[in-house]
Amino acid sequence: MRIGVDLGGTNIKVGAVNDKGEIVFQNTRPTKAEKGVEGIVKDIIEQIEEILQRTNISREQLQSIGIGVPGLVEKSTGKIIHLTNLFLDNVDLGQKIQAYFHKPIFVDNDATVAGLAEKIAGSTQGVKNSIFITLGTGVGGGIIINDKVYNGGHGWGSEIGHIVVGENFYDCNCGRNGCLETFASATALIRYVKKRIEEGKKESFILEKVGGKIDQIEGKTIIDAAREGDILAKEAMDRLIQYLAIGIVNLLNVLDPEKVVIGGGLSKAGDFLLNPLKEEVQKRLSFKEVTYGDIVLARLGNDAGIIGAAFLGENV
Ligand SMILES: [Zn+2]
């Protein structure tokens, strides 16, 4: 039996996962970032202990523990380099859990974990090479090559959110300008709409949807407005799709995966996002003579974080 831990900005979800990729038992606690790394480690350990007790899994039967985190990770050592939302920088999370359980521990970013889960039980089952792109607060990436998670030479690779795809009106958290994350995340979508409203773009009912409160605009507000034909919302979505397509074509040219999977909050827009994205990618492809990978939506929901984490370090 394997344990998967989904350490998110809001909740820590832990589950025991069997060989088929099914969660047999899970529990959730709110993430108490204010308690710092020791508090989070303590919660994770207690949650795992509870699962072992409730499922009668002995320490010997426990094969490994995998942890997915929302940020930059040195996968070879399990060290968290930077977590934007949890303020945990330079923390040896993997080592701390390992010191308690004395089992193999694998730590990776949440997009890689979600990509791995899709391969086990979702839209890339049986697919050897795939790229997972998550469009949420930021843009995350996970790469699977020859059935294995690709970690890179120093263990921190697959930072798709920071490939540069253009020039933008604001800088990325990483300090540079033009990162995919500043064009294709929910945050980026909202920032662009707010900027256009503040510039005096009038032909839009987005503000009406949030009772005139500009700070209450969410990604979903904009997607809904675009569906209803709002001109500004459509402009913002078109812009997002354009830059996302540039990023995807770059990745297709470098890695030639069979599939690119789109997940994260914005992917809930479904075909409304996928179809124009596919068209835009098609227009931008470099060579007409070769076969390119298909773009699909993620199939798994909330459990992907636990399932994928449990299988980190495995060939799937
Ligand atoms: Zn960046």
Whether the per-residue pLDDT at 87 is higher than 70: the answer is: no
Q: Distance from the CA of 166 to the center of ligand 1, in angstroms?
A: 12
3-class SS string, 157-226: CCCHHHCECCCCCCECCCCCECECHHHHCHHHHHHHHHHHHHCCCCCCCHHHHCCCCHHHCCHHHHHHHH
Torsional class of 270: left (φ above 0), alpha (ψ -120 to 50), beta (otherwise): left
pLDDT tier at 78 (50, 70, 90 boundaries)? confident
Average pLDDT over residues 167-191: 97
Predicted confidence at residue 84, as pLDDT, reads 67
Average pLDDT over residues 89-100: 89
Whether the per-residue pLDDT at 86 is higher than 80: the answer is: no
Predicted confidence at residue 80, as pLDDT, reads 82
Whether the per-residue pLDDT at 230 is higher than 70: the answer is: yes
Q: Distance from the CA of 84 to the center of ligand 1, in angstroms?
A: 12
Q: Distance from the CA of 262 to the center of ligand 1, in angstroms?
A: 19
Q: Distance from the CA of 49 to the center of ligand 1, in angstroms?
A: 38
Predicted confidence at residue 219, as pLDDT, reads 96
CATH tag, 126-298: 3.30.420.40
Q: Distance from the CA of 31 to the center of ligand 1, in angstroms?
A: 25
For the chain, the helix, strand and coil percentages under 3-state DSSP, each to the nearest 5: 40, 20, 35
Q: Distance from the CA of 237 to the center of ligand 1, in angstroms?
A: 20
- Both tokens of 244, joined, read 């996302």
Predicted confidence at residue 301, as pLDDT, reads 85
Average pLDDT over residues 64-87: 82
pLDDT tier at 132 (50, 70, 90 boundaries)? very high
Looking at the chain, the whole-number percentage of residues with pLDDT higher than 90 is 81
Whether the per-residue pLDDT at 64 is higher than 90: the answer is: yes
The protein residues having their C-beta less than 5 angstroms from ligand 1 (an ion) are: 162, 172, 174, 179
**Mean pLDDT over the full length of the chain:** 93
Q: Distance from the CA of 139 to the center of ligand 1, in angstroms?
A: 9
Q: Distance from the CA of 45 to the center of ligand 1, in angstroms?
A: 33
Whether the per-residue pLDDT at 85 is higher than 70: the answer is: no
**More confident call, 85 vs 169:** 169
Q: Which part of the chain has CATH 3.30.420.40?
A: 2-121+302-310, 126-298
Do the beta carbons of residue 48 and residue 65 sit within 8 Å?
yes
Q: Distance from the CA of 137 to the center of ligand 1, in angstroms?
A: 13
Whether the per-residue pLDDT at 142 is higher than 90: the answer is: yes
Whether the per-residue pLDDT at 248 is higher than 70: the answer is: yes
Q: Distance from the CA of 51 to the center of ligand 1, in angstroms?
A: 38
| Least confident span in 128-132, 173-177, 181-185, 187-191 | 173-177
Superfamily of domain 2-121+302-310: ATPase, nucleotide binding domain (3.30.420.40)
Average pLDDT over residues 19-23: 90
Q: Distance from the CA of 176 to the center of ligand 1, in angstroms?
A: 6
Average pLDDT over residues 232-261: 98
Average pLDDT over residues 268-284: 97
* Residue 82: φ, ψ to 5°: -160, 125
Q: Distance from the CA of 156 to the center of ligand 1, in angstroms?
A: 14
Average pLDDT over residues 34-62: 93
